[in-house]
Amino acid sequence: MFSSNVLLFPTFFEHENFPTVILEAFSCGIPAISTNWRGVPDQITNDYNGYVHEIHDYEGMKKSILYLFENPTRYEEICLNARNSYLMNYSLEKFENNIVNFFNSLK
């Protein structure tokens, strides 16, 4: 995945809820372009760490890809935001803290 520039993930799979492939891309600093399907909009913030499009909006997805490649400065910012999204929300350290805080709240 490290050799990728963008994750294109046009999912509308019936059993897809919170695709970890998006988190994997973010962990590598790779922005994601996906569909407005179930948990995807909870992961991707438009023009921050990627782009969310309606299902079957392939023209919109194409425009997002072209935008990123035609605007290298903005692309680099979105890559940094993708990495930061992972670190701030989904890293192992964040997961551990959430688990510890949850169990401490049960006392």
pLDDT score of 53: 99
Backbone φ, ψ for residue 71 (5° rounding)? -130, 75
Residue that the structure tokens 């680099």 belong to: 76
Can you give the pTM of this predicted structure? 0.89
Domain range list for the chain:
7-105
pLDDT band at 65 (very low <50, low <70, confident <90, very high): very high
Q: What is the pLDDT of residues 8-36, one digit of tens each?
A: 999 999 988 899 999 999 999 999 999 99
Residues with Cβ < 8 Å from 11, sequence gap 6 or more? 19, 34, 35, 37, 40
Average pLDDT over residues 84-93: 96
The highest-level CATH class for domain 7-105 is: alpha beta
pLDDT score of 1: 74
